[in-house]
Amino acid sequence: MRALAAVALLATATTTLPDTIRAQQSDDRRRCLASEGVTPERKLDSCTAVIKSGGQTVQWLVAVFTSRGNVHLNNRNYDRAIDDYNETIRLDPKYAVGFYNRGLAYLRKGRIDHAIEDFDAAIRLNPKYTNAFVNRALAYQEKAQWDFDAYLAEGMYEDRAIQDLDKAIRLDPNNATAFGFRGFVHSRMRRYDRAIQDFGEAIRLDPNVATSFSGRAYALRFVGQYERAIADYRKALTLQFDDANRSQIGKMLEQLGADAEQDATPTAVKKQ
């Protein structure tokens, strides 16, 4: 009853605000939650304004803190993102997205165990949270490469990653990211035939991801299919890739005795 009275008082107070203030709150909310057309800096300012204005419902505050946290995450301000996601979880402890988002921030910050714990929580709250399975798999793979526990238990975290990716693919058979990442884990475990299959499916689902072609090329080299590997490396170079990866592919092609560009033929793929 006391909580209902508090909500009623807040509603009454909001309705008595001057029209200009209500209009400003509406504009700030719109900019804060906009999916496009607003700069990150403007979103941050608007979200902060909404938070400071007071009188917001829990649902609105969760949405606003989430939006501001996402801006911080994209700006690589991971500590600030974590602070905002902490607020979403405090406001709504059953908000699976809050745990998932905080897990992403921890993962990108290199706090792998914290990330896994948050992805665990997100999956407990939403057992069909496909992206949580994919990113927990990524966290397991990171742990497999850098954690001392993984050195003592070889293959354990790769197996956990595969299990999570299997689950993600069962939940979403059209998830190209899950297929591509499972291909990388299979390659790391030297299961090259399985890796080639997974990369092939990732490419079928989304033919514009350079890492799927370069990943398949890497696996093809190990099974002796050099011409296919060359073709995949060349295809990767036509897609969006950073300079470091382009340079690495150039070295791979050189090792295979090929140039980055194919000889002039009707089917030649030219480097952009």
pLDDT 10s digits, 228-247: 999 999 999 999 888 888 99
- Structural domains counted in the chain: 2
Q: What is the dihedral of CA 137, 138, 141, 145, to 10 degrees?
A: -160
User: Which one has a higher pLDDT value, 254 or 18?
Assistant: 254
Same-domain check for residues 126 and 208:
no
Average pLDDT over residues 191-202: 98
Does any domain span residue 6?
Answer: no
Does any domain span residue 241?
Answer: yes
Segments forming the whole domain that contains residue 105: 21-162
Does any domain span residue 150?
Answer: yes
Average pLDDT, the chain: 86
Does any domain span residue 156?
Answer: yes
Read off the CATH number of the domain in which 115 is found: 1.25.40.10
Buried b (16+ CB within 10 A) or exposed e, 114-140: bbbbbbebbbebbeebbbbbbbbbbbb
Q: What is the dihedral of CA 110, 207, 261, 211, to 10 degrees?
A: 10
Helix (H, G, I), strand (E, B) or coil at 87: helix
Q: What is the pTM of this model?
A: 0.82
pLDDT, one tens digit per residue, over 67-80 is 999 999 999 999 99
CA 148 to chain centre: 25
Same-domain check for residues 124 and 221:
no
Does any domain span residue 10?
Answer: no
User: Which one has a higher pLDDT value, 68 or 149?
Assistant: 68
Same-domain check for residues 45 and 137:
yes
Same-domain check for residues 153 and 256:
no
Domain boundary among 133, 162, 191: 162
User: Which one has a higher pLDDT value, 261 or 240?
Assistant: 240
Does any domain span residue 168?
Answer: no
Own/partner contacts of 179-182, CB < 8 Å, gap of 24 or more, are 179/205, 180/209, 180/211, 180/212, 180/215, 181/134, 181/137, 181/138, 181/141, 182/137
What is the structure's pLDDT at 56? Answer: 86
Same-domain check for residues 197 and 150:
no
Residue 98 has pLDDT above 50, yes or no: yes
What is the structure's pLDDT at 199? Answer: 98
Instruction: Give dist(CA 242, CA 203) in Å, integer.
Output: 19
Instruction: Give dist(CA 109, CA 82) in Å, integer.
Output: 10
Same-domain check for residues 116 and 183:
no
pLDDT, one tens digit per residue, over 39-70 is 999 999 999 999 998 888 999 999 999 999 99
Does any domain span residue 112?
Answer: yes
Residue 170 has pLDDT above 90, yes or no: yes
Contact 195, 184 (CB under 8 A): yes
Residue 173 has pLDDT above 60, yes or no: yes
Residue 11 has pLDDT above 50, yes or no: no
Q: Which amino acid is at 262?
A: Q
Does any domain span residue 48?
Answer: yes
Helix (H, G, I), strand (E, B) or coil at 6: helix
Same-domain check for residues 134 and 33:
yes
